[in-house]
Structure 1
Amino acid sequence: MADLTNTQKKEWARTLYLRENLTQQEIADRVGVSRVTVSNWCRGGKWEEQKVGLTLTRREQVQSLYRQVAEVNNAIQLKPEGQRYPDAKQADTIVKLTSAIRNMEQEVGIADRIAVLTDVIEWMRPSDLDKAKELTSLFDAYIKDKL
């Protein structure tokens, strides 16, 4: 496994900060930097504000996009018979929304991987703490390899 660049470490730390309920020290230990570095990255990148704004899951975002497509289609259906086709603006909106839906449904980013692996660790922790710790180390190595 190759050593991570500072940029990769920063992105990994940011993802951990946004997705997991870890202290800055825990993040620093997992990423391999000092707590002060994580603190500086956090302040400089306004991670706290991002964390507050990170309320929608990918699934909720896709559902919202589908609702928006339905709204455009409903507006088209309300037009008089013979004119029930999208105008240029509506057609452009439909193309953009369907493209966004396709991208979100197909793309599995590093944040999604971390979310799934975190769920596995949280599931394992109550029944076998040692195994959860072992998985955490393995999953950290996996994520580091994917960065």
Structure 2
Amino acid sequence: MAKTPKENDKQAKARSLYMTGQFTQTQLADIVGVVPRTIMRWAEAESWDVILESTKSSKEKRIAKYKGYLKSIEEKIESRESTNDAYPTTAEIDQMTKLESIIKKLQDNASIGEIVMYSKNVCTFVQGYDVEKAKELVGVFDAYIKSLI
């Protein structure tokens, strides 16, 4: 069954408040005027928890973590005294290659959290000019984000 515009507004408001990380599902239900089970169903169907978690872990932190792993492998190799051991092992090369690949992917691709943040910013900006266009954009961004999950 298709949702009414009012139901869509409630769901969008609940989603937006959920993404702040400041409300429980029961509190959201009270705020938007639905039963808690409805919030749970919406959150599950749209993977709100996955989106919220991805906004908490910044891409820069993950890149720094992987660069730290890479640096520790490089330091281990450099710390070897004999010249025969001064070269990386096959396993170390494999680890370094994988870490470099992960770092490149993180640098090249926007995270879901970033996309959510940019989407919210665009919708807020557009809302200042045209509320109906902003509502339309919310639907488009929601569909795009769901396609990435």
Q: TM-score by structure 1 length? A: 0.57
Does the Cα contact within 8 Å between 1:76 and 1:86 map onto a contact in 2? yes
Distance, in Å, in 2 between the alignment partners of 1:46 and 1:116 is 16
Distance, in Å, in 2 between the alignment partners of 1:145 and 1:55 is 21
Instruction: Write the letter of the residue equivalent to 1:141.
Output: G
Q: Which residue of 1 aligns with 2:78?
A: 77
Q: Which has the higher contact order (CA 8 A, sep 6+)?
A: 1
Q: Which has the larger radius of gyration?
A: 2
Q: Which residue of 1 aligns with 2:135?
A: 137
Change in CA separation of 1:70 and 1:56 when aligned onto 2, cut-off 3 Å? same
CA distances 1:77-132 after superposition (whole Å, capped 9, x unpaired): 0011412221232222111111111111122254421112324566x5xxx97448
For residue 39 of structure 1, report the CA deviation from its aligned partner.
1.5
- TM-align CA RMSD: 4.4
Q: Which residue of 1 aligns with 2:68?
A: 67
Distance, in Å, in 1 between the alignment partners of 2:41 and 2:133 is 29
Instruction: Write the letter of the residue equivalent to 1:73.
Output: E
Q: Which residue of 2 aligns with 1:86?
A: 88
Does the Cα contact within 8 Å between 1:65 and 1:97 map onto a contact in 2? yes
For residue 145 of structure 1, report the CA deviation from its aligned partner.
4.6
Distance, in Å, in 2 between the alignment partners of 1:132 and 1:85 is 62
Change in CA separation of 1:18 and 1:73 when aligned onto 2, cut-off 3 Å? farther
Aligned residues: 124
Segments of structure 2 that go 5 or more residues without pairing to the other structure are 3-11
Q: Say whether residues 1:58 and 2:59 are aligned partners.
A: yes
In percent, how many aligned pairs have the same letter? 12
Q: Map 1:1-147 onto structure 2 (within 5 A).
A: 16=15, 20-21=19-20, 24=28, 36-40=37-41, 42=43, 47=49, 51=52, 55-82=56-83, 83-120=85-122, 130-131=128-129, 136-146=134-144, 147=147
Distance, in Å, in 1 between the alignment partners of 2:65 and 2:17 is 22
Change in CA separation of 1:120 and 1:53 when aligned onto 2, cut-off 3 Å? closer
Does the Cα contact within 8 Å between 1:72 and 1:94 map onto a contact in 2? yes
